[in-house]
Amino acid sequence: MKRVALITGGSRGIGFGVASSLAEAGLDVVINGRRSLADVADAIGALERLGARVLYCRADIASLDDHQRMLAEIRQSFGRLDVLINNAGVAPDVRADILEASPASFDRLIQINLKGPYFLTQAVCKWMIEQRQREPDFRGVVVNVSSISATVASVNRGDYCISKAGIAMSTQLWATRLAEFGIDVFEVRPGIIATDMTAGVKEKYDALIANGLMLQKRWGTPEDVGKCVSVLARGELTYATGQVLTIDGGLTMQRL
């Protein structure tokens, strides 16, 4: 029986890169987002051409009620869920210095980037534990896609950095709690990745990259992240639960 993966925010950007890699690896995929089915039809078609059975669940990751509805749709369509990729996230609407930042922006980012994935993981892993009790060989995997902003300070988007630092700790918490059930939990920490989220700062980072910001002088791609997540989702990294894989071209490596 094919493994089934849920990728939040899976219809574009990093999430679509991850979904494509998993489809190529032979998994069926559930992608989640807030856009209409018509708006994600091209993404669904591309994933189906890779051989995957695809379900699209329109849901707001910040809504716990939407979590339950989404999982009910997955149960009905597939009857199982083996992999959760917590990828959906947003940047601040306005990059504001932390001396001027608004509570509204902070609340929005925490709700979407941290609270949503935290409680989706709770709901999914309760189901994974049920599956483990029925199938002793069942091995669940959770991958949190965070950011180098979990440890690299950007004072014009402190809310984003704090939300990603929270994801880093939640990875450790869930890895600790779920190990007894054979559920591995990992964090993938991308650097500067070419997506619609980073399009507005392309000129800035083009110059920084040209001047040696990272060791590998290019933008990262969603495919770079997808290949990494695929290794984890397929269970190929054993005896390593709780670990962080940094996909940043050497940006955060200390050097003189």
Whole-prediction pTM value? 0.97
159 closest CA partner among 201, 115, 98: 98
**In whole angstroms, what separates CA 240 from the centre of its chain?**
18
Q: Which of 56, 118, 160, 205 is catalytic?
A: 160
**pLDDT at res. 200:** 85
- Main-chain phi, psi angles of 214, to 5 degrees: -125, 165
d(CA 229, CA 243): 12
**pLDDT at res. 207:** 96
Q: Count CA atoms closer than 13 A to 234's CA, side-chain side.
A: 16
Q: What is the 3-state secondary structure (H, E, C) of the chain?
A: CCCEEEEECCCCHHHHHHHHHHHHCCCEEEEEECCCCHHHHHHHHHHHHCCCCEEEEECCCCCHHHHHHHHHHHHHHCCCCCEEEECCCCCCCCCCCCCCCCHHHHHHHHHHHHHHHHHHHHHHHHHHHHHHHHCCCCCCEEEEECCHHHCCCCCCCHHHHHHHHHHHHHHHHHHHHHHHHCCEEEEEEECCECCCCCHHHHHHHHHHHHCCCCCCCCCECHHHHHHHHHHHHCCCCCCCCCCEEEECCCCCCCCC
**pLDDT at res. 256:** 87
List the beta bridge partners of residue 8: 32
30 closest CA partner among 17, 42, 41, 44: 44
Which structure tokens are listed for 68? 């339950």
Q: Is 205 among the catalytic positions?
A: no
8 A C-beta contact, residue 88 and residue 146:
no
| pLDDT by residue, tens only, the chain of 256 residues | 899 999 999 999 999 999 999 999 999 999 999 999 999 999 999 999 999 999 999 999 999 999 999 999 999 999 999 999 999 999 999 999 999 999 999 999 999 999 999 999 999 999 999 999 999 999 999 999 999 999 999 999 999 999 999 999 999 999 999 999 999 999 999 999 999 889 888 999 999 999 999 999 999 999 999 999 999 999 999 999 999 999 999 999 999 8
**In whole angstroms, what separates CA 79 from the centre of its chain?**
22
d(CA 113, CA 62): 8
87 closest CA partner among 177, 20, 158: 20
Domain spans, the chain: 4-247
**pLDDT at res. 166:** 98
**pLDDT at res. 199:** 86
Pick the CATH number of 4-247 from 1.10.357.140, 3.40.50.720, 3.20.20.80, 3.40.50.12160: 3.40.50.720
Longest pairwise C-alpha distance within the chain = 55
